[in-house]
Structure 1
């Protein structure tokens, strides 16, 4: 007999690297989710900024269904129409000339970092391999990407780390100037640090970093895995700064819930690559690319992108009502619907407590570190869903504050 599907089964059969909520979601529609008992939840988490168009968006379901009856997978021994279609959309709407498809943000970043080092070695010197990254950054869970990420807790304990990676404080241009040299191949950053507390880069910092990269013949790599694809109110966040990277990575919302990622770059940088230097079996598969094409068309529309700031304003208005009652938040961080609410010092290290209480009150939220509540809902979430979710969050906050 098949095992009964319960939360307890997770603890028996899944590698213990996660601590999921006690309920199991079984159905989603828009910004609402239902569990095994039929209880309804408002989703302010969006699968960690993945479900940018909500659950089971009808246009994505239709695209997936139609492609599922045509072609699922052929590998990269062959190309396919949806992959070429998606690549062209990305190129037409960004700085990029070339695209590489993978399956996750970590894989896109792995490709980006490998490309940066390979380009430097081919064009300049094999000793031009230093990567400058930033404390509190997060770039994925492969050994290379977790080493570039600026949080040792994710990379310690796995043996010798990839070498020639240096970390400095975010938004500190002088710190970058102190370590950059002719051996630096890349500076890697998130325009808005996701897991690191939703800290946004300042315009002066990004402009200064771009200038340093040009001066030292260093590639500027933007990780827009979380902050890209409409999340901050423009297709990609770099477009708000007037600073163009040399390489950009995209994932999460790119497929609207279907696993896919992309690395974008220029013809010049791509020209050092040749068949066999890098690859992936599943990257660019027709199912993922067909869904991502539809997601791209929906997200890259004026009504969706312009609606992000209106929804952010309503979120902050509702959070301020909570703040008036409980004096909980110190400031709001991030951009658009990559929104962080930093807790007052007396509630530091309690972000997870508020997350758990919110789940009990049937609203799904996230944290970004121990001191920031994170909200990454669907870009299409309705005003009524925001207000209902905030009513539930108010009850959760009251439980924690009065505990």
Structure 2
């Protein structure tokens, strides 16, 4: 749907958003009307090279022909269901992901924050059930960003940032260590540590790639 389809102006759309929607992000002064490949086009047809990729969750490009045809084909059968019935695409996709990347099992989530919430819950549950009621601490990196749900927000290593300010006490059980500093992570480990949670590349913190692997520390020292 484009401006020409509804007979409104850009300012009309902005005013409706301001009136009816809670502001969660500061928006760009553009209307994203269409996309193709690596470009998004505004209401004037101006192309923008899209480095966001759905905030790092969709790297298939805009209106990828194969994706569009697959969506149309599926929508002709069923567009939405719930978790109780089986569906053919879900089963086939789960199999393909597991056999491709070597996982035993997966489950699908709507966002990165939800995926991180699931990981946090699984790690804490495993620690409590196997090692005792206090074995639930997770170490994350300073300047990290893991999402805006309360658990993932608490995992985010930015205690002085708007990511955490104004929401009261964070969920307990998280400790922060300096990114790319193995010694800092090792020093942060306690008898109650059950896991280490690190982004391969920090985005919110300023685009910092990981240069050291820390996964072995948590595995060896958390028993």
TM-score (norm 2): 0.88
2:93 equivalent in structure 1? 86
| Unaligned segments of structure 2, at least 5 residues | 1-5
Q: CA RMSD for the aligned pairs?
A: 1.9
CA contact (8 A) 1:143 1:155 kept: no
How much has 1:200 moved relative to structure 2? 1.4
Equivalent residues in 2 for 1:22-37, closer than 5 Å: 22-37=29-44
How much has 1:130 moved relative to structure 2? 0.9
Higher relative strand content: 1
CA contact (8 A) 1:26 1:35 kept: yes
Query: 2:158, 2:221 → 1: CA distance?
Result: 26
2:175 equivalent in structure 1? 166
| Unaligned segments of structure 1, at least 5 residues | 219-403
How much has 1:47 moved relative to structure 2? 3.2
Query: 2:87, 2:215 → 1: CA distance?
Result: 36
1:323 equivalent in structure 2? none
CA contact (8 A) 2:35 2:62 kept: yes
CA contact (8 A) 1:7 1:23 kept: no
2:203 equivalent in structure 1? 194
Query: 1:48, 1:165 → 2: CA distance?
Result: 25
Aligned residues: 213
Query: 1:125, 1:43 → 2: CA distance?
Result: 47
Query: 2:89, 2:33 → 1: CA distance?
Result: 29
1:7 equivalent in structure 2? 14
Q: CA 1:91–1:51 in 2, change beyond 3 Å: closer, same or farther?
A: closer
TM-score (norm 1): 0.50
**CA deviation string 1:189-212 (max 9, x = no partner):** 11211221121112xx31xx2332
CA contact (8 A) 2:109 2:115 kept: yes
1:360 equivalent in structure 2? none
Query: 1:124, 1:70 → 2: CA distance?
Result: 47
**CA deviation string 1:80-134 (max 9, x = no partner):** 1111111111111223101011100000100000000001111111110111111
Which secondary structure does the structure 2 equivalent of 1:98 belong to?
coil
